[in-house]
Structure 1
Amino acid sequence: MKYVIGVDLGTSAVKILLVNQNGDVVQEVSKEYPLIQKKTGYSEQDPKSWVDQTVAGLSDLIRGFNGIPEDIEGISFSGQMHGLVLLDENRDVLRNAILWNDTRTTAECKHIYDVVGEERLLAITKNPALEGFTLPKLLWVKKHEPDIYEKAKTFVLPKDYLRYQLTGELHMEYSDAAGTLLLDNSEKVWSKEICDLLGIDENLCPTLVDSHEEVGRITSEIAELTGLAISTRVFAGGADNACGAIGSGILEDGKTLCSIGTSGVVLSYESSNDKDFRGKVHYFNHGAPHAYYTMGVTLAAGYNLSWFRDVFAKAESFEELVSEVGTVPVGSNGLLFTPYVVGERTPHADAAIRASFIGMDSSHERKDFVRAIMEGITFSLNESIAIFRENGKHIDTIVSTGGGTKNQEWLQMQADIFDARIVKLSSEQGPGMGAAMLAAYGCGWFDSLKECADEFLQVDKEFVPNAFNVEKYKELFSLYQEVYVQTKELNEKLTKYRK
């Protein structure tokens, strides 16, 4: 039996999967590393910790492996997007990586619009200037740490640095490059125009490759440290959302992914890049060849439930908290919730907006509040789906992953609010599986990623929309959309009273 490894380099931990030719996960290892938060809004990590913990995880995996190392044919990567890793002429790290969730770059985003222009930026990159992207971080270092910037010879993203340390070869692939605000999305080249306008040396941008492309072999040093064979083929990999899409089978038109974790993501496959969403949703290069994906983000999804549980039901499990949701009717007995506890991203890029319960009265019980939160999270995700459909996308099948799959009522709620068939997979490994699938495809096990998905991914359950509930939720969704407009100014005025 042959095997591949999928490495998912997340924000809090690296997760490593060993997958066989049938798509079975035969081993799984996870290793944590810390965040560095020196100031409010700052979020950094030491890239060395990614490498150390990945090497430790691979060593644990090989120690528990019953086969011979040469049976592991390939390895590929999924990684947290947008994080800036600056390297000097010797390819040594110049400073801690600035991560995707770092928000220090508001002034730099404004500068990008002032110099490049919002319309021109959208035309080239298909995305707006947001604090999370890589380009604003690069400009921040240029302005605030000029000595470090002067020493920089190249930049990469987190998984690219990890891959470099395992192979000695330095590249960036298109799905992650699309999240830098420096890639010409249509031409799949670094934008000389943006670099020139902002005074960035285009040579800082690394060589671009496809996600399934073989970029090297494991070095002898890493082989000795981990037990891997030096014959192990290494493939470029993809951004975590692109790999999550691959690992959920989002590989053809009409298919969409809904991932409900701490935050929420709605991601839809695009066979071309000719749609114009006017920056309302993200538009990135897919990890699948010659494909793209559009993506909307709910800044706080499951986090709303975690917050509610921590404040009002600290001793209870998630299962206990949601156990009575099925006894509450559609609309939560007239209670509406907007899930903006930490602001919102799609379609409202608004850091000041905050959550609201609308319609509370003395008849409401805790279970009404819990269902209202779940409905509110799903309404927020539906805003992205509505944008896709308004722009001509046909969405009939949605693969649901994350915390939103752990409750049957919530899965049915998704089917009713999204008005689409909801699919729950039997094994949910997301980005790590997507990385493993890129390695399997790169090794030649399959003629396409779609063929690989058909073999590796199995459907566990399906939920179809209830026509009566669909109509009720359409009315409630219209009311939900009014709440942001009605509370925006109030929340801005309340900002000065927050801690």
Structure 2
Amino acid sequence: MKYVIGVDLGTSAVKVLLINQHGEVVKEISKSYPLIQEKTGYNEQAPNDWVEQTITAISELIKDFEGNPNNIEGISFSGQMHGLVLLDENQEVLRNAILWNDTRTTEECEEIYERVGKNHLLDITKNLALEGFTLPKILWVKNNEPDIFNKVQSFVLPKDYVRYKLTGKLHMEYSDAAGTLLLDITEKAWSKEICELLDLNPEICPPLVGSHKEVGTVTEEIAEATGLSTLTRVFAGGADNACGAIGSGILEDGKALASIGTSGVVLSYEADGEKVFEGKVHYFNHAAPDVFYTMGVTLAAGYSLSWFKDTFAKEISFDELLVDVDSVPVGSNGIIFTPYIVGERTPHVNATIRGSFIGMDSSHERKHFARAVLEGITFSLNESVDIFRENGKSIDTIVSIGGGAKNESWLQMQADIFNANIIKLQSEQGPGMGAAMLAAYGCGWFNSLKECADEFLKEDKVYQPISENVEKYKELFAIYKEVYGKTMDLNKRLVGYRN
């Protein structure tokens, strides 16, 4: 039997999967690492923590592996997007990595619009300048830490640094490069024009490769540390959302992904880079060859449910919290929840907006609020589905992964609110599975990623929309969308009272 390894480098931990030729997870190891938060809005990590924990996880995986390590043919990566790793002339790390959820770069986003132009930036990168992206972080270091910036010879993203330490080869692939704001999305090349307009040396941008391309083999040092063979082939990998899409089979038109973790994502396959969304959703190169994906983001999806539980029901489990939601009718007996508890991204890029419960009265119990939270999260995700459909996309099938796929009631709710068939997979491994599939495809096990998905991914159950519920949710969704406009000014006026 042959095997591949998928490495999923997340924000809180690295997860390493050993997967056989049938797509079965033989072994899984997870190792956490700390988040560094020196100030409000600052989120950093030490890149070598990622490397050490990845090596530890792989070595534990190999230690318990009963087969021959020579049969582990390939390894590939999924990684948290947008994080900035700066390297000097010796490829040594110059400072902690600034992560995707770091919000210190508002002034740099304004600088990008002033010097590049908002519309011109959209023409080249198909995305707006947001604090989470990589380019504003580069400018922040340039503006605030010039001594460090003067030593910069190259930058990479988190998984690219880990891959470099395993192979000695430095690259970036297109799906992660698309999230830097320095890539010409349709030309698949670094934008020298943006670099020149912002006084950046384009030489700091690393060589670009395809996600399924082989970039080297593991070094002798890494082989000795992990137990891997020096013949193990290493493939570039992809951004976490792109790999999540591959690992869910989002490889053809009509299919979309709803991923509900701390944040929530609705992702839609795009065959080309020609559509114009005017920055309403993200537009990135897919990790599948020569195609793209668009993506809307709810900042506090699963986090809204976690917050509600920790604040009002800390003593019980999530299963207990949601056990009665089916006894509550559609609309939660007149409560609507907006999940803006940390601001919002799609379709409202607004850091000051905050969440609301609208319609509370004395008859409401915890179960009504719990259902309202689920509905509110799903309404927010449906705003992205709406944008896709308004721009001519047909979305009839959505694969649900993450926390939203762990509850039957929530899966049916997604079918009713999205008005689409919702697929739950038998074994849902998300980005880690996508990384492993890139390795399997790169190793030549399959002729295409679609063929790999047909072998690796199996449906567990399909939830179909209930027409009566669909109509009720259409009416409620219209009310939900009004809440943003009617609370936006109130939230601005409350900013000064927040700690």
Identify the TM-score tier after normalising by the shorter chain.
over 0.9
1:339 is aligned to: 339
**Secondary structure at the counterpart of residue 361 of structure 1:** coil
**Secondary structure at the counterpart of residue 332 of structure 2:** coil
Give the Å deviation of 1:311: 1.3
Correspondence 1:82-481 to 2 at 5 A: 82-481=82-481
Task: Measure the CA separation in 2 of the matches of 1:141 and 1:359.
Answer: 46
**Secondary structure at the counterpart of residue 4 of structure 1:** strand
Give the Å deviation of 1:299: 0.3
Give the Å deviation of 1:261: 1.1
**Secondary structure at the counterpart of residue 389 of structure 1:** helix
**Secondary structure at the counterpart of residue 151 of structure 1:** coil
Q: Give 1:21's aligned amino acid.
A: Q
Give the Å deviation of 1:71: 0.4
Q: Give 2:68's aligned amino acid.
A: I
Q: Give 2:313's aligned amino acid.
A: A
**Identity fraction in percent:** 73
Give the Å deviation of 1:425: 0.2
Give the Å deviation of 1:302: 1.2
Describe the superposition over 1:344-380 as per-residue Cα deviations: whole angstroms up to 9, x where unpaired: 1100111101111111111111111111110000000
Q: Give 1:172's aligned amino acid.
A: M
| Bigger mean CA offset, 9-18 vs 302-311 | 302-311
Q: Give 1:125's aligned amino acid.
A: T
Task: Measure the CA separation in 2 of the matches of 1:431 and 1:311.
Answer: 30
Give the Å deviation of 1:406: 1.4
Task: Measure the CA separation in 2 of the matches of 1:222 and 1:303.
Answer: 37
Task: Measure the CA separation in 2 of the matches of 1:236 and 1:306.
Answer: 34
Task: Measure the CA separation in 2 of the matches of 1:154 and 1:302.
Answer: 35
Task: Measure the CA separation in 2 of the matches of 1:175 and 1:270.
Answer: 13
Q: Give 1:325's aligned amino acid.
A: V
* Unaligned segments of structure 1, at least 5 residues: none
**Secondary structure at the counterpart of residue 477 of structure 2:** helix
Task: Measure the CA separation in 2 of the matches of 1:186 and 1:428.
Answer: 31
2:63 is aligned to: 63
Task: Measure the CA separation in 2 of the matches of 1:33 and 1:366.
Answer: 35
Q: Give 2:225's aligned amino acid.
A: L
Determine if the alignment matches structure 1 residue 493 to structure 2 residue 472. Answer: no
Determine if the alignment matches structure 1 residue 26 to structure 2 residue 21. Answer: no
Q: Give 1:327's aligned amino acid.
A: S
Give the Å deviation of 1:336: 0.8
Describe the superposition over 1:404-429 as per-residue Cα deviations: whole angstroms up to 9, x where unpaired: 11111110000000000000000010
**Secondary structure at the counterpart of residue 224 of structure 1:** helix
Task: Measure the CA separation in 2 of the matches of 1:232 and 1:261.
Answer: 32
Q: Give 2:258's aligned amino acid.
A: C
Describe the superposition over 1:198-236 as per-residue Cα deviations: whole angstroms up to 9, x where unpaired: 000000000000000000000000000100000000000
| Bigger mean CA offset, 72-81 vs 304-313 | 304-313
Alpha-carbon RMSD across the aligned residues, in angstroms, is 0.5
Q: Give 1:33's aligned amino acid.
A: Y
Describe the superposition over 1:229-288 as per-residue Cα deviations: whole angstroms up to 9, x where unpaired: 000000000000000000000000010000111110000100011100000000000000
**Secondary structure at the counterpart of residue 6 of structure 2:** strand
Q: Give 1:251's aligned amino acid.
A: L
Task: Measure the CA separation in 1 of the matches of 2:210 and 2:153.
Answer: 22
Describe the superposition over 1:286-327 as per-residue Cα deviations: whole angstroms up to 9, x where unpaired: 000011000000000111111111111111000000000000
**Secondary structure at the counterpart of residue 249 of structure 2:** coil
Task: Measure the CA separation in 2 of the matches of 1:81 and 1:258.
Answer: 18
Task: Measure the CA separation in 2 of the matches of 1:134 and 1:474.
Answer: 37
Describe the superposition over 1:127-171 as per-residue Cα deviations: whole angstroms up to 9, x where unpaired: 000000000000000011111111000000000000000000000
**Secondary structure at the counterpart of residue 341 of structure 2:** coil
Q: Give 1:378's aligned amino acid.
A: T
Determine if the alignment matches structure 1 residue 77 to structure 2 residue 61. Answer: no
1:50 is aligned to: 50
Give the Å deviation of 1:23: 0.4
**Secondary structure at the counterpart of residue 290 of structure 1:** coil
**Secondary structure at the counterpart of residue 60 of structure 2:** helix
**Secondary structure at the counterpart of residue 103 of structure 1:** coil
Task: Measure the CA separation in 2 of the matches of 1:186 and 1:54.
Answer: 33
Task: Measure the CA separation in 1 of the matches of 2:199 and 2:432.
Answer: 37
Task: Measure the CA separation in 1 of the matches of 2:368 and 2:463.
Answer: 23
Task: Measure the CA separation in 1 of the matches of 2:104 and 2:75.
Answer: 34
Q: Give 1:318's aligned amino acid.
A: F
Task: Measure the CA separation in 2 of the matches of 1:71 and 1:7.
Answer: 17
* Unaligned segments of structure 2, at least 5 residues: none
Give the Å deviation of 1:451: 0.3
Task: Measure the CA separation in 1 of the matches of 2:243 and 2:47.
Answer: 21
Task: Measure the CA separation in 2 of the matches of 1:91 and 1:302.
Answer: 37
Q: Normalization by structure 2: what TM-score?
A: 1.00
**Secondary structure at the counterpart of residue 393 of structure 1:** coil
Q: Give 1:140's aligned amino acid.
A: W
Q: Give 2:340's aligned amino acid.
A: Y
Task: Measure the CA separation in 1 of the matches of 2:102 and 2:177.
Answer: 18
Q: Give 1:154's aligned amino acid.
A: S
Task: Measure the CA separation in 1 of the matches of 2:78 and 2:191.
Answer: 24
Q: Give 1:269's aligned amino acid.
A: Y
